[in-house]
Amino acid sequence: MTHTKYPLSNTCTARRRKCFKSQIAVVAVLLAIAVLVVPAPMSLAAPQERHIRIEASRFQYTPSVIHVNPGDKVTLDLTSNDVVHGLYVDDYALNITADPGQTTRLTFVADKAGTFALRCSAPCGPIHPFMVGRLNVGSNGLLWRAIGIASVVAFAGLWWFRK
Amino acid sequence: MMRYELTQIPWLKRLLVSRWPIFLVRAVVLAGFVLTIVAGLVGSPVGSHNFAIIFVWIAWWSFLKLLAIPFGGRAWCAVCPIPMAGEWMQQGALVGRSARGIGLNRAWPKQFRNIWIPTGAFAMIGLFSAVILTVPRVTGWVLLGFIAVALVVSLVYERRAFCRHICPIGGFIGLYSRLAPVEVRVRDRAECATHADKTCVTGNEQGYGCPWQAVPLALVQNTNCGLCMECLRSCSRDNIAVNLRPFGADMGRRAGRSLDQAYFGFMMLGSVAVYSTVMLGAWGKLKTAAFEVGSVAWLSYAAVFLAFTLGVLPGLFLLAVWAGRKLAGSTLSLRKTFIAQSHALISLGLLAWLAFTVSFAFAKFSYVWSVLSDPFGWGWNLFGTAHVPWTPYLMNLAPMLQVLALLGGLIWTSVWVRRIAQEELPEKQAVRQSLPVMLFCLLFTIGMLWLLIG
Amino acid sequence: MKQEWLARLILAVLCVAAIAAPLTFQAIQTNRANAPTIELRARLPDAEHGGWSTDVIKVVAGQPIHLRLTSDDVMHGFAVGQTDWPALDIKPGEVAETDLTFDRPGRYTFYCTRWCGPNHWRMRGVIEVRNPSGVNGDASQPTSEPPLYQKLGLDIDAMPQLAPQAEQSLSQLQGLPSAERGAASHVELPSELRDRDWLRTHTPAEAFTLLRKNVAYNDLTDAQVWDVVAFAWRASASPDVLARGAQLYARDCAACHGETGRGDGPAGRDLPGLQTMLPDAKRGPGDLTDARRMFALTDAHLQGKLLRGGMGTGMPEFGSLYTTDEQWTVIAFVRGFALEGKRWGQRASP
C-alpha cells in the first residue's frame, strides 16, 4: 500500500472540515480566554503576621519553600549554620546577610502575589550561584493559567494550523 | 516558500565572500578564548569573579541560546575558536587559498558518521556540569581539552570531522538549526545540473571544498552547514546564496532524520529538565550530589541522569508513538515513525532551553560588569565597574517570558507533530497518531512550567 | 602572500597578548605599592590547613607593609590581635588592601573575623615584628603582667559548687534575676559591689551571701537580692562597654555558644565541651545561661578560660587575640546571659 500525502482539497468534505476547524478554533479561543480571566481563588484569610526562621547552610535554605498569603506582614529571621550567607528576594529586591550564630531580621509586607526565588547573595562556595529557595505569596496564578492554556493549545494546535 | 536573498545586497555579499572580515572576527574570538582559558587556570577560584565562568556559562551560553541559535542556526560554528587552529593547519592559510596544508586527511570512520559521540559527550557534560559550571579551573581544563581534541582530530581526519561527529555543542546547534531563519542554498538547481566540475565540493582557486563535507549543490537542510561561506567563494557559477527565511523551514525536510539525531534531541530535553530541577530548584541535596563527583550521591545522580535522558524519556515517547500508531491504525514501521516524530520535538527543545536560559541569564547577568573590570579576581578595576554589586535583572518579567517560550514551543511542536504524521498518513489518521504524542509534549511542558515558575 | 603574513601577525599578537597582557598587568599592579607587599589568601580551614596561605609574616618595626588580602571561597575577615586596627572584610574573588605599621616589636596574632565554618578558630597566623636594629631579639611579647586568675592561684579547670544558701535560693527562684528590677528598686549597693576589683574576684553567689549577711538588706526577698546582684554586675560596665562586648561576642563566640548563650550555636554542635572533664556532661560549648554553674565562677575564672582556652574541650584561646580590656568587656557582656537571660548592650532583638 502506497503512502501518499493527503492534501486539503476543495471538495464538500473539505468545506465541512473547514467548518469543523473553525468550530474547534472558537471553542479553543473561548477556553483560553476563560483560563486567562478566571479570577484566582480569593484568599479568604485576613493578612496576618508571620515570623519565619530560615537557616542557611551550604547550599540550601531550611525551610526551602515558604508560603504566605498576599498582604501578610512577613518577618524572616535569617541565620547561618556554617559560613556567611545572604538572602535576596526576587522582585521585592530585598537583601540581607547573616553570619553563623547571628540572626539578621528582614520585615516586609508581601504585597506582590506570585512565586519568587530566594537567592543567596554572599558568595559561600562553588554552588553559591545555585543556592535558591522559594517564596510563595498566595497561589501561583501564572503557573495555573499557563498549565490551563497549555492543555488547550496542545491539542487545539493539531487542528488549527494548515499549510 | 518565502525567501529573501541577503547576498543580493552587494556590500553584504562582499563582506561574506571576502576572507578578511570573518578572519578578524575569528582572530578576536580566539584571543578571547585564550584569555578565558588563562583566566580559568590562573584566576581566582571564585566562579562569580572569574572571566572564564561568567563569560562562558553566562554571557556566551545565553548569547548562544537566546540569539545565535534561534536567529542564526550554526552561525556560531562559523566563528567558533575550538576547531580554528586545526582548520587553519589543514587549509594551510588564514586568509588565502593555499594549495596544501598539514594533516593526514583520513576519512572519518563510517560507523561514527553520526552524532552518537556528541550525544555521549553531552551526557558527560551533564554528569559533571555542577563542577564545570562553578569551578574556573575545571572550565579552563575542559576548554583546553576541547581544543586539544579538535586539533588532534583535524590533523588526522578530514576537514571538520570534530565539529560534525564529536562536538556536543555542534550536536545541538546542528539539530536546532532546522528552526533558524538563515540558510545557505543554491539559487538555481538547473545551473548545477550543467556544471560538470561541482567546485563547491572539490574546491578551486577561490575556495576550498566544503569543510563540513556537505554537498552544497544538494543542501536542503541546515543541520550540517556551518555557514562558513566557502561554497560562495568556490562556486564558479555564482549560484549559491545566503537567504533569510521563515522560522522552522527545515522541519519538514526528511533528509537528515536519523536515530542518533532523535536521541540527541532526547538528551537535550532530558538535560534541560534535569538542570532545571538540580540547578534552579530549591533542593540543596541534589546540588551537592551533583557537585561531589565520585561520591555515592553523585553516582546516584549520574545513574538517574543517564537513565532519564537515554531511557525513560525516549521510552515514554516510544510508548506515545506506539499508542498513536494503534489509535491511527497505522501499519508503518514503528522505528521510522518514532524517528520522524522525534524530530517534531526540536522546537519543544529549543524553546525549553530558551526558557531555562532566561532564569539563568537574567539572574546572573550582572556579574558581567564586575568581571569585565576584574576578569581574574585580582583586584583590578579596568573600567571602574569592579564593585558593581550583583542584582538579578527583570525577574518580574522572567516568568512571563518563560511561559511564552514554553507555550510557544508547545504550539509549534503540535503543528509539526501533525505535519510530520501527515507525510505518511491521511489527515484524520495523522491527527489520531498525534494525540498521544501531544500528551507527551503537554506533560513535558507542564513539568517545565512547574520547575521554572512553580 | 603578504596578506597571509599580516594575518598571521595579527593572530599571533592577539593570542600572545591574551596571555601576556594580564600577567604583565598583574605584575605591575602588585609592585606598585611603595611598601613591601604581602599577599594573603584566605580559604576555608580544615584539620590540616590553617586557612591562611602564609602562617608567618616577618616584618620590621616601624616599616609599613602593604597587605593584599583575597578569599578563595567564602567571606573571611582579617584583624590583628592586641592592636586596635579595625577588622577588614575579605570578600571572595575580591582584593582588600591595607597598609599596616607595627611600632613595637613582638609577636602578634592575626586571625579571621568572619565565621567560616567549624575550623574558623584555627584560622590564625603570626606576625613577627623585629627590631629595626637588626638584632634578633626575643620575638615574644614584652613581659606583661600575669593574668588575674594566675595571681589568685585559681584552678580554672575546677568546677566549683555553689554555697548551700545560694543554691537553695536559686532553686526557689522563679526565672532568672533581673538587673532592671534591681536598678528600679533603688537599693544602695554596698561598697564591695561598687568595686570593680571585688566584683572580678568574687562570684555572684558570694555577692548574694554578702548581701544576705548585711542586716541593711533584711527586708529584701531572696529574689530581690539576686536582682541587686545582677544590677551590680551590669552597672560595673558602661553601656558602651556592653555594646562592644555584644559585638565581640557576636563575632567570635556566638557561632558556638549560641546567640542566647545556651551553647546551641551551629559551630559548636560537635565539640567535646565539658565531657572531657565530666563524662556525664553534655557535649558542646558551655551553657552561659546556666545560673548554677555561672554564679559559682568569678570573672577572673572566666577570664582564665577565655585566655587559655579549654584543654581538649574545643574552646579556643583568646589570649593572643584580645587585649586585657577586650577580655573584661566580653566577660561583662557574657554575665548578662545568666544574670538576666538577656544580651546586655543590645536592643531587644530575636
Q: Grid coordinates representing A134?
A: 522559594
What pLDDT, on the 0 to 100 scale, is given for residue A47?
Answer: 86
User: Is the reported ipTM for this assembly greater than 0.85?
Assistant: yes
Question: Could you tell me if residue B236 is inside a domain?
Answer: yes
Quick check: A101 and C74 CB within 8 A? no
Instruction: Name which of A6-10, B367-371, C86-90, C241-245 the model is least confident about.
Output: A6-10
Note whether B348 and B362 are same-domain residues.
yes
d(CA C266, CA C27): 42
Note whether B313 and B426 are same-domain residues.
yes
Quick check: A101 and C93 CB within 8 A? no
Please work out, in degrees rounded to the nearest 5, the angle formed at the alpha carbon of residue C257 by the alpha carbons of C113 and C282. Answer: 140
Rounding to the nearest 10 degrees, give the CA dihedral for residues B9, B14, B16, B17.
Answer: 130
Is C238 an interface residue toward B (CB < 8 Å)? no
How many Cβ pairs within 8 Å bridge chains A and C? 67
| Closest C-alpha to C127, from C61, C178, C73 | C61
In angstroms, what separates the C-alpha of A47 from chain B's closest C-alpha? Answer: 23
Mutation target for C interface from A57, A75, A84, A121: give the one with most C CBs within 10 A: A84
Q: Read off the pLDDT band of A10 (50, 70, 90).
A: very low
Quick check: A154 and B445 CB within 8 A? yes
* Cβ-Cβ contacts under 8 Å, B279 against chain A: 130
Quick check: C75 and A80 CB within 8 A? no
Q: How many C-beta atoms surround the C-beta of residue C218 within 10 A?
A: 8
What pLDDT, on the 0 to 100 scale, is given for residue A163?
Answer: 45
Quick check: A129 and B435 CB within 8 A? no
Res C139 pLDDT > 50 = no
d(CA C199, CA C193): 6
d(CA B93, CA C1): 10
Note whether B65 and B184 are same-domain residues.
no
Question: Could you tell me if residue B257 is inside a domain?
Answer: no
What pLDDT, on the 0 to 100 scale, is given for residue C348?
Answer: 46
What pLDDT, on the 0 to 100 scale, is given for residue C236?
Answer: 92
Res C6 pLDDT > 50 = yes
Q: Which domains does chain C have, with CATH numbers?
A: 37-130 (2.60.40.420), 148-339 (1.10.760.10)
What pLDDT, on the 0 to 100 scale, is given for residue B399?
Answer: 93
Domain boundary among the residues B156, B178, B200 is at B178
What pLDDT, on the 0 to 100 scale, is given for residue C148?
Answer: 85
* Cβ-Cβ contacts under 8 Å, B388 against chain A: none
Asked if residues B451 and B276 have their Cβ atoms less than 8 Å apart, the reply is yes
Asked if residues A106 and A75 have their Cβ atoms less than 8 Å apart, the reply is yes
Note whether B153 and B194 are same-domain residues.
no
Q: How many C-beta atoms surround the C-beta of residue B295 within 10 A?
A: 12
pLDDT digits (tens, 9 = 90+) for B254-282: 988 999 999 999 999 999 999 999 999 99
What pLDDT, on the 0 to 100 scale, is given for residue A6?
Answer: 52
Q: Give, to the nearest 10 degrees, the angle between helix B296-306 and helix B284-291.
A: 100
Is A43 an interface residue toward B (CB < 8 Å)? no
pTM of the model: 0.91
* Cβ-Cβ contacts under 8 Å, B95 against chain C: 3-4, 7
What pLDDT, on the 0 to 100 scale, is given for residue B272?
Answer: 97
Question: Could you tell me if residue B249 is inside a domain?
Answer: no
What pLDDT, on the 0 to 100 scale, is given for residue B21?
Answer: 94
Is C58 an interface residue toward B (CB < 8 Å)? no
Question: Could you tell me if residue B1 is inside a domain?
Answer: no
Terminal Cα distance for chain C, rounded: 77
pLDDT digits (tens, 9 = 90+) for C256-300: 999 999 988 998 888 888 777 777 877 888 889 988 889 999 999
Touching chains, C (3+ CB pairs < 8 A): A, B
In angstroms, what separates the C-alpha of B284 from chain A's closest C-alpha? Answer: 5
d(CA C140, CA C105): 8
What pLDDT, on the 0 to 100 scale, is given for residue C349?
Answer: 44
The whole domain housing B316 covers 264-453
Note whether B230 and B362 are same-domain residues.
no
Quick check: C15 and B378 CB within 8 A? no
What pLDDT, on the 0 to 100 scale, is given for residue B245?
Answer: 95
Quick check: C115 and A100 CB within 8 A? yes
% of chain C at pLDDT higher than 70: 96
More confident residue, A11 or A129: A129
* Positive/negative CA dihedral, B109, B114, B120, B122: positive
Q: Read off the pLDDT band of A39 (50, 70, 90).
A: low
Secondary structure (DSSP) of B120-135: HHHHHHHHHHHHHTT-
In angstroms, what separates the C-alpha of A48 from chain C's closest C-alpha? Answer: 19
Quick check: B418 and A158 CB within 8 A? yes
H/E stretch holding C156 reads none
Note whether B172 and B201 are same-domain residues.
no
Domain boundary among the residues B134, B160, B178 is at B178
Quick check: C259 and A81 CB within 8 A? no
Quick check: B377 and C1 CB within 8 A? no
**Identity of the residue in B285, B445, B454 whose CB atom sits nearest the CB atom of A140:** B454
Q: Is A79 helix (H, G, I), strand (E, B) or coil?
A: strand
Note whether B195 and B282 are same-domain residues.
no
Query: How many structural domains compose chain B?
Result: 3
Question: Could you tell me if residue B448 is inside a domain?
Answer: yes
* Cβ-Cβ contacts under 8 Å, B331 against chain A: 1
Note whether B238 and B273 are same-domain residues.
no
* Cβ-Cβ contacts under 8 Å, C70 against chain B: 44, 377-379
Question: Could you tell me if residue B374 is inside a domain?
Answer: yes
Domain boundary among the residues B178, B209, B235 is at B178
In angstroms, what separates the C-alpha of A80 from chain C's closest C-alpha? Answer: 8
d(CA B296, CA C275): 34
d(CA B122, CA B162): 14
* Cβ-Cβ contacts under 8 Å, C250 against chain A: 99, 101-102
* Cβ-Cβ contacts under 8 Å, B376 against chain C: 22, 26
Tell me the mean pLDDT in the region C125-143: 70
Find all residues with CB under 8 Å of C243, minimum gap 6, and list them.
C345, C346
In angstroms, what separates the C-alpha of C264 from chain A's closest C-alpha? Answer: 9
Note whether B11 and B41 are same-domain residues.
yes
* Positive/negative CA dihedral, A91, A94, A98, A104: negative
Q: Report residue C256: phi and psi, to 5°.
A: -100, -50
Question: Could you tell me if residue B256 is inside a domain?
Answer: no
Q: Which residue stretches of chain B have pLDDT < 70?
A: 1
More confident residue, C310 or B127: B127
Tell me the mean pLDDT in the region C150-176: 84
Question: Could you tell me if residue B321 is inside a domain?
Answer: yes
Q: Read off the pLDDT band of A21 (50, 70, 90).
A: low
CB-side exposure of C71: number of CA atoms within 13 Å? 27
Quick check: A154 and B279 CB within 8 A? no
Give the 3-state secondary structure of B17-52.
HCHHHHHHHHHHHHHHHHHHHHHHHHCCCCHHHCHH
Quick check: A101 and C267 CB within 8 A? yes
Peptide bond into B33 cis (omega under 30): no
**Identity of the residue in B390, B391, B415 whose CB atom sits nearest the CB atom of A157:** B415
Quick check: B44 and C70 CB within 8 A? yes
Beta bridge partners, C57, equal C127
Note whether B142 and B237 are same-domain residues.
no
Which CATH number belongs to the domain containing residue B196 in this structure?
A: 3.30.70
Note whether B428 and B299 are same-domain residues.
yes
Quick check: C8 and B94 CB within 8 A? yes
Note whether B235 and B358 are same-domain residues.
no
